[in-house]
Structure 1
Amino acid sequence: MSTVLETVGDGVVLIRVRGSLDGWDGTAELTEALAAAANGGGRLTVVDLSGVEFADSTALHALLDGRREHDDAGKRLVAAGPLSVNVRRLFEVTGTLDAFRFTADVETAIAG
């Protein structure tokens, strides 16, 4: 599991996540990256979930907390895909699909 936080220009922060996000691995890194992005100088944070093969409720909790932090800071948070079947199912089963703005890919999220 890896989480990489980078600024890609024009106030856009990109968080690239790869591997599995669960209670055992990766969620703490994602939580830290989301908090840093919410408290940083960017106007938009894009979370690239296209490389995530599996996510559980701890990952969802981290994303929901990150969304709240971004809302509180007046910043946008967008989740970019394409999502794996397992990750998409997590959002569907928990009824949280509408809690996030999803785009087909990172480029679309950055563009707008």
Structure 2
Amino acid sequence: MREPSSRASEESGPVLETVGDGVVLVRVRGSLDGWAGSAELVEALTGVADGGVRRTVVDLSDVDFSDSAGLHALLRGQRKHDQAGATLVVAGPLSANVRRLFEVTGTLGAFHFANDVDAAING
């Protein structure tokens, strides 16, 4: 299993890491909402998609809360990846709060999900 990079514990925004040929891991920690993280996540995901990546893994395993702004950031990233012909995978395990956001908004079907980062990278 991959260990979080030392940068991940020092930074509050998404941390990008190239983990394979054309595969980028985007680690998100804490809250993903209108106050923290969502704007940075949109920026990271659109930048990665524009960079010619073939797969982006968004690690939400350390996200304890997300609201509609966080969901909107993921949806914008998904749309940008679709336009670029790339795959975006959301990796967990997801907290109950985050999973519930996908469930109540009916957006579970809008994303590819993996149980953990390794499965998302290799899947």
Q: TM-score range by the shorter chain?
A: over 0.9
Task: Determine the structure 2 residue equivalent to 1:7.
Answer: 18
Find the aligned partners of 2:53 and 2:86 in 1 and give their Cα distance: 8
Counterpart Cα distance in 2 of 1:70 and 1:20? 23
Task: Say which is worse superposed, 2-11 or 13-22, in terms of deviation.
Answer: 2-11
TM value normalised by structure 1: 0.97
Unaligned runs of 5+ in 1: none
Structure 1 residue corresponding to 2:67, chosen from 35, 56, 74: 56
2:36 corresponds to which residue? 25
Q: How does 1:72-111 map to 2 (within 5 A)?
A: 72-111=83-122
SS in structure 2 opposite 1:2?
coil
- Give structure 1 regions of 4+ aligned residues with deviation exceeding 6 angstroms: none
> Percent identity between the aligned chains?
71
Q: What amino acid is aligned across from residue 83 of structure 1 in structure 2?
A: L
Contact 2:52–2:84 (CA under 8 A) maintained in structure 1: no
Contact 1:2–1:19 (CA<8 Å) still a contact in 2? no
Which structure has greater strand proportion? 1
TM-score norm. by structure 2 comes to 0.89
Matched, 1:38 2:49: yes
Contact 1:50 1:81 in 2 (8 A): yes
Q: Distance in 1 between matches of 2:88 and 2:112?
A: 7
8 A contact 2:13–2:28 mirrored in 1 = yes
